[in-house]
Amino acid sequence: MLGEPAQPKMRSMTAFHTIIEPFRIHSVEPIRMTTREERIAALEAAGFNLFRLKSEDVAIDLLTDSGTGAMSRDQWAGIQRGDESYAGSPSWYRFEAAVKHLFPFKHVIPTHQGRAAERILFSQLGGEGKTVPNNTHFDTTRANVEFTGARAIDLVIAEGQDPTSEHPFKGNMDLGALELVLSTEHVPVVFMTVTNNAGGGQPVSLENLRGVRALCDRFGVPLFLDACRFAENAYFIKHREPGQSERTITDIVREMASYADGMTMSAKKDPMANIGGWLALNDDRLAERCKTMLILTGGFTTYGGLAGRDLEAIAQGLEEVVQEEYLRYRICSTAYLGDALADVGVPIVRPIGGHAVFLDARQLLPHIDPLEYPGQALAVALYREGGIRSCEIGTIMFGRRPDGTEVPAAMDLVRLAIPRRTYTQSQLDYVVEVVGHVAEHADELRGYAITQEPPQLRHFTATFAEL
């Protein structure tokens, strides 16, 4: 008698070494190729500020991962379904349910992007004489706090400011420092940015969130999340924090939310939309004041300055971003870029963050003083040599204090932010080649001086001259 036919050995796809993009391309956008001469002319016309370039003159745009990702088929289908009723649209209810599924706060207030949520919240909680601690404020968050007259302070753990430290949760808050601030200053709210964008896209652990929550409880101060990259943070928790590996991303996200009293959000990041955001919170009275501000400046409470179709795209994006397959690809493709850059000798912030690889410009360009902006020198060179647009996250962005004086920022980094589901592996290979080439010629780069700057958020519009 013949035996059972041998079963072919089956391996799940994840058992193979190559991690593939869990999607295929449905619609393409052309990239315009430019010459070095054209790029030099474009830089001069832009006053050497990469924000002032025409995006058509950029080959690989790593300026930001904000609103620049590719939407899915189902998000575009949602765009068609969008209902533009002024009040109570079904698209609003779908959006609200998708937000509350992950972040079960009592009130959800839609806004046109993250900073609109920040502005509304800090208009109510900020003011002279107050201090807002955060692990690290992002630029618009800091500016919105300072605009009200309050002080914004960054209390990330010491490892979070050391580009070489391999600490798994470099976004964590320094609990001792937070306790000191809570006991000596007037703190209306504590913020935690997950992941910590300005600090290198580094995650915050559940354990640290619990510690911050306990301190907030002791001092009777609310805790808010700046949750732009919450899903990437949850993925890091799943893979790095003891005891978390069997949980779903959704479950971890809900636990993160459970420690907070509210959140601000940019839907242009992990919710995978091109526009949008929200403020969510439990406090009824504060919510009422915030909703009034929204109606005054953004729109009615069921659309908040967004079109109904945008609300649909966000709701769908929230379902897609917590999928493990997507997050594995996302985190691993960012790590692929970072590891390849490290292999060719480029100093980067370690461990590699979720949405971006951060180049350590201060280490690569020790001959350029921080006040002559090594990050700018590197970012300009990446564009000039290879048409790659990146973003300085250093002394230009954070070095100017509210009184107008200037100090070196904690780090001088250049961020290569990866738009979600947008660039292929060969495009990332090209980035590695260009950055490697620039790094080989690092000693030829020169610093910059600012020729004109506004009093706030100067990195967006300042102009520069090469020294």
Tell me the β-bridge partners of 452. Answer: 463
Q: Which is nearer to ligand F0G, 64 or 205 (CB)?
A: 64
Region binding ligand F0G by CB under 6 A among candidate stretches 72-80, 112-120, 302-310, 421-429 = 112-120
Q: How far is the CB of 117 from ligand F0G (least distance, A)?
A: 8
For 229-240, b/e burial (b = at least 16 CB within 10 A) is bbbbbbbbbbee
DSSP helix/strand/coil, 49? coil
Terminal CA-CA length for the chain: 86
Compose the 63-92 pattern: x for residues touching ligand F0G by CB under 6 A, - for all others. Answer: -x-x--------------------------
- The residue whose Cβ lies closest to ligand F0G is 114
Q: How far is the CB of 275 from ligand F0G (least distance, A)?
A: 8
Q: Which is nearer to ligand F0G, 204 or 439 (CB)?
A: 204
Helix (H) or strand (E) holding 436: helix 425-440
**Contact between 138 and ligand F0G (CB under 6 A)?**
yes
Number of residues that bind ligand F0G (CB under 6 A): 15
Q: Which is nearer to ligand F0G, 72 or 140 (CB)?
A: 140
Q: Which is nearer to ligand F0G, 353 or 447 (CB)?
A: 353
Region binding ligand F0G by CB under 6 A among candidate stretches 17-25, 133-141, 242-250, 301-309 = 133-141
CA angle 349, 350, 355 (to 5 degrees): 75
**Contact between 233 and ligand F0G (CB under 6 A)?**
no
CA 311, CA 83: separation in Å to the nearest integer?
9
Q: Which is nearer to ligand F0G, 195 or 302 (CB)?
A: 195
Q: How far is the CB of 228 from ligand F0G (least distance, A)?
A: 4
Task: Residue 396: name the closest of 441, 462, 350, 315 by CA.
Answer: 462
Judge contact between 467 and 54, C-beta under 8 A: no
Looking at residue 3, the DSSP 8-state letter turns out to be P
**Contact between 201 and ligand F0G (CB under 6 A)?**
no
Long-range contacts, 172-180 (Cβ 8 Å, 24+):
172/135, 172/204, 172/205, 172/208, 173/133, 173/135, 173/204, 173/208, 173/211, 173/212, 175/208, 175/211, 175/212, 175/215, 178/133, 178/212, 178/215, 179/215
Judge contact between 280 and 73, C-beta under 8 A: no
**Contact between 266 and ligand F0G (CB under 6 A)?**
yes
Two tokens at 433? 């080649």
Judge contact between 128 and 150, C-beta under 8 A: yes
Region binding ligand F0G by CB under 6 A among candidate stretches 34-42, 137-145, 304-312, 428-436 = 137-145
Compose the 113-132 pattern: x for residues touching ligand F0G by CB under 6 A, - for all others. Answer: xxx-----------------
Q: Which is nearer to ligand F0G, 194 or 287 (CB)?
A: 194
**Contact between 141 and ligand F0G (CB under 6 A)?**
yes
Q: Which is nearer to ligand F0G, 39 or 268 (CB)?
A: 268
Q: Which is nearer to ligand F0G, 108 or 439 (CB)?
A: 108
Judge contact between 195 and 204, C-beta under 8 A: yes
Binding site for ligand F0G (CB under 6 A): 64, 66, 113-115, 138, 140-141, 193, 197, 226, 228, 266, 268, 277
